[in-house]
Amino acid sequence: MATQKYNVAVVGATGVVGQEMLKVLEERNFPAAKILPLASARTAGSRVEFQGQEIVVQELKKNSFEGIQIALFSAGSAVSEKYALLAAAAGAVVIDNTAFFRMDPQVPLVVPEINAHTIQNRPKGIIANPNCSTAQLVVALKPIYDAAGIKRLVISTYQAVSGTGKEAIDELQQEVLDILQMKPVKPAVYPHQIAFNILPHIDEFLASGYSKEEMKMVNETKKIFGDDSIRITATTCRVPVFYCHSECVNIETKKKITADEARALLKQAKNVVVLDEPQKNIYPMPVAAAGKNETFVGRIREDISIDSGLEMFIVADNLRKGAAFNAVQIAEEVIKYL
């Protein structure tokens, strides 16, 4: 019996996440009968590669989704606000990588390793992909949450510039060149120089003093686990790394769990790789995680300041698990029910 195939649209196909989505669809041999790359008028007419063929990018319009079964959105919240419901009305299941629908109670927020079952209840026809820093966090937390419960999280992130987009990648590269050539640095994407620097600033600041990025981690983590009782605080920082987000996470569990027990659980977890032999200089790093779909966890140890606490270091490719890979995983779950 032939495998059913599906018409797939990729909105924002010329952006860094959209291009990664096309790569992951190809790598995963997703059963696509047709790939429709969509973008703004500015980049429509350019070409993208898929399975050895060049496909012309079409301009995104209101009627772009006729005959499309799955639509992957990665072009920004304003685009999703305008077009996602139109795509759903045309019959497509929308998988949205932007923040626009994430906290909508009628839209499931999905990391398949944790809550794939929620995709069946999608009254708006839309499924949200979480924030990149949240996605890798919850994958690593899941086995610990199941075994010991989680009372409180203290999170510090070290996020790559690719999370901001191609312009930020170009800016970091140019700043490095300018500094090494003793030229003045002229930041445009970020408010300050990012090369050889750290900015404790991702997204806008709120009246509380937290940034929107920090509150995304707080609210999305609770929604994905379906547990509002978890107490969470976060500080998110932009670092001069091109790809992969890193996170230092302090976990206060409801019942005591040892570092060895946590390590054993994580080794059994789907799409988690434990790199935890610090005496041999083995631990997660962005250079080792780039281009990979897994979430890497190490520096697992018991918190010496509280009775039931763990520390760990988490790294994942923000364009993969944080965006494209997670979206394609969701699509793979969706087609089980189409």
Sequence ranges of the domains in the chain: 6-130+323-334, 134-318
Q: Which amino acid is at 324?
A: A
pLDDT digits (tens, 9 = 90+) for 60-84: 999 999 999 999 999 999 999 999 9
Determine the pLDDT at residue 3: 80
* Cβ neighbours of 110 (radius 10 Å): 26
CA of 216: how far to CAs of 82, 172, 222, 235, in Å?
22, 25, 10, 11
Structure tokens belonging to residue 247: 């996170």
Q: Which amino acid is at 334?
A: V
pLDDT bucket at 17, cuts 50 / 70 / 90: very high
pLDDT digits (tens, 9 = 90+) for 254-274: 999 999 999 999 999 999 999
With a cut of 70, say whether residue 1 has pLDDT above it. Answer: no
What 3 state SS string does the chain have?
Answer: CCCCCEEEEEECCCCHHHHHHHHHHHHCCCCEEEEEEEECCCCCCCEEEECCEEEECEECCCCCCCCCCEEEECCCHHHHHHHHHHHHHCCCEEEECCCCCCCCCCCCECCHHHHHHHHHCCCCCEEECCCHHHHHHHHHHHHHHHHHCEEEEEEEEEECHHHCCHHHHHHHHHHHHHHHCCCCCCCCCCCCCCCCCCECCCCCECCCCCEHHHHHHHHHHHHHHCCCCCEEEEEEEECCCCCCEEEEEEEEECCCCCHHHHHHHHHHCCCEEECCEHHHCECCCHHHHCCCCCEEEEEEEECCCCCCEEEEEEEECCCHHHHHHHHHHHHHHHCCCC
With a cut of 90, say whether residue 2 has pLDDT above it. Answer: no
- 117 catalytic? Reply is no
CATH topology of domain 6-130+323-334: Rossmann fold (3.40.50)
Among residues 117, 201, 244, 245, the one annotated as catalytic is 245
Nearest to 76 by CA among 5, 10, 11: 11
Q: Cβ distance 301 to 83 under 8 Å?
A: no
Give the predicted TM-score (pTM) of the model: 0.95
Structure tokens belonging to residue 271: 């799409």
Give the residue-averaged pLDDT of 81-106: 97
C-alpha span between 117 and 127 (Å, rounded) = 12
Q: Cβ distance 266 to 274 under 8 Å?
A: yes
Nearest to 321 by CA among 285, 292, 288, 300: 292
Give the residue-averaged pLDDT of 108-135: 96
Mean of the per-residue pLDDT values for the chain? Answer: 97
According to CATH, what is the number of the domain 134-318? Answer: 3.30.360.10
Determine the pLDDT at residue 337: 86
Q: Cβ distance 247 to 137 under 8 Å?
A: yes
pLDDT digits (tens, 9 = 90+) for 153-195: 999 999 999 999 999 999 999 999 999 999 999 999 999 999 9
Among residues 132, 192, 201, 248, the one annotated as catalytic is 132
Q: Cβ distance 136 to 247 under 8 Å?
A: yes
* Cβ neighbours of 197 (radius 10 Å): 15
pLDDT digits (tens, 9 = 90+) for 275-303: 999 999 999 999 999 999 999 999 999 99
Q: Which amino acid is at 262?
A: A
With a cut of 50, say whether residue 89 has pLDDT above it. Answer: yes
- 245 catalytic? Reply is yes
Q: Cβ distance 136 to 314 under 8 Å?
A: yes
